[in-house]
Amino acid sequence: MTDFQITILGSNSAIFNHGRHPSAQFVQIQNQHFLIDCGEGTQERMHENKVKWFKIDYIFISHLHGDHYFGLIGLLTTFNLLKRKNKLTIFAPKELKKIIQQQLKVSNTTLNFDLKFIATQTDDKYCILDIPECTVYSFPLNHRIPTTGFLITSKTIQRKLDLEKIQQFQIDKTQYKFLIDGEDVLDVNGKKIKNSWVTQKGKPTRSYAYCSDTVYDVQIVQYIKNANLLYHEATFLHQDKVRAKETMHTTALQAAQIAKKAKVQKLILGHFSSRYYHLSELEEEAKTVFENTALAIEGNIFSV
């Protein structure tokens, strides 16, 4: 397990078909656990993939087409039945709050944990969550109803002191913070101690961008520039580009063009139309433009 990874739970568009499920992804970043989108059956998918779903404290819903949130009320009710106590925060279009409240009300359910809704906006990029492990931004996508993508950026993991090695030198403890910042320091006798002698490497910031659903739109590039990993919907093959435009979806070729323009390191294609049983054609098509492309096969884990 790495410190920042994505598990694909569902990657089919609209309906369950060919053994593929509606959209959902589980994100683990250090000790934080997120769910992005929650199509029908997401609970079951999380059980099957043995992710730590009970540790989820933040849920991000891209938009209110049913294949992206119909699993939510079931998950919330399960949390309640299992006597969850921790607060849960859901980032979603503002109408979701009313929908969930109504579902809870008519079933006479009172949650025994705090449920907080934060409404997403589709006019610009916004920082919606800032915690020690990462920062999360929402940004507008271009779909039939208000939709946002999400960008999760890990924070720099500082250098670590190598306590065994540090004992071999006479370094005053007041110097430790400079070592963590990567600087060389002086020992108590004024002798230079190189940073690399007594610390272990930290990790630079990394980012994961989630773009589902959207028509091909180069405006998105500015929000996801240089991401280490990009999930972009590729509902159709380019031969069906007219249908893609009508339904405000993207083709595999177009997703690859976005990845190339945004200079991301790796592209994952998902949100596949049920018209395709074999997905290799989508992958091959994208690779003609952007080589480092993979399919969002359910159960697969991608490290950021």
Q: Which is nearer to Zn ion, 20 or 65 (CB)?
A: 65
CA–CA distance, 87 with 113 (Å, rounded to integer): 6
List 67, 124, 130, 184, catalytic entry: 67
Strand spans (E) along the chain: 4-10, 24-29, 32-38, 58-60, 88-92, 115-119, 126-131, 134-140, 148-154, 160-161, 185-186, 192-193, 199-200, 207-211, 229-233, 266-270, 293-295, 301-303
CB of 206 to Zn ion, least distance (A): 27
181 is catalytic: no
CB of 69 to Zn ion, least distance (A): 10
Q: Which is nearer to Zn ion, 213 or 285 (CB)?
A: 213
Instruction: Pick the stretch among 39-47, 64-72, 188-196, 282-290 that binds Zn ion (CB under 5 A).
Output: 64-72
Instruction: Pick the stretch among 48-56, 65-73, 162-170, 181-189 that binds Zn ion (CB under 5 A).
Output: 65-73
Q: Could you say which residues in the range 104-143 bind Zn ion, by CB under 5 A?
A: none
Which residue pairs from 129-138 have beta carbons closer than 8 angstroms and sit at least 24 positions apart in sequence? 129/58, 129/89, 129/91, 131/32, 133/29, 133/30, 133/31, 133/32, 134/29, 134/32, 136/34, 136/58, 136/60, 136/91, 137/223, 138/60, 138/91
CB of 173 to Zn ion, least distance (A): 55
Instruction: Pick the stretch among 165-173, 189-197, 211-219, 289-297 that binds Zn ion (CB under 5 A).
Output: 211-219
CB of 303 to Zn ion, least distance (A): 27
Q: Could you say which residues in the range 139-198 bind Zn ion, by CB under 5 A?
A: none
Q: Which is nearer to Zn ion, 13 or 207 (CB)?
A: 13
Please select the residue that binds Zn ion; options are 20, 21, 65, 238, rule is CB under 5 A: 65
How is the beta sheet containing 24-29 ordered, strand by strand? 115-119, 88-92, 58-60, 32-38, 24-29, 4-10, 301-303
Please select the residue that binds Zn ion; options are 37, 213, 233, 285, rule is CB under 5 A: 213
With CB under 5 A as the rule, give the number of residues binding Zn ion: 2
- Residue 189 DSSP label: T
Q: Which is nearer to Zn ion, 65 or 84 (CB)?
A: 65
CB of 82 to Zn ion, least distance (A): 30
CB of 36 to Zn ion, least distance (A): 14
CA–CA distance, 100 with 103 (Å, rounded to integer): 5
Q: Cis ω on the peptide bond leading into residue 184 (within 30° of 0)? A: no
Q: Nearest-CB residue to Zn ion? A: 65
Task: Tell me the CA distances in angstroms from 78 to 7, 32, 109, 117, 286, one per residue in order.
Answer: 21, 20, 12, 18, 39
Residue entry with tokens 């999930």:
231
The reply to whether 40 sits near Zn ion by the rule CB under 5 A is no
Active site residues: 67
User: Interface with Zn ion by CB under 5 A: which residues?
Assistant: 65, 213
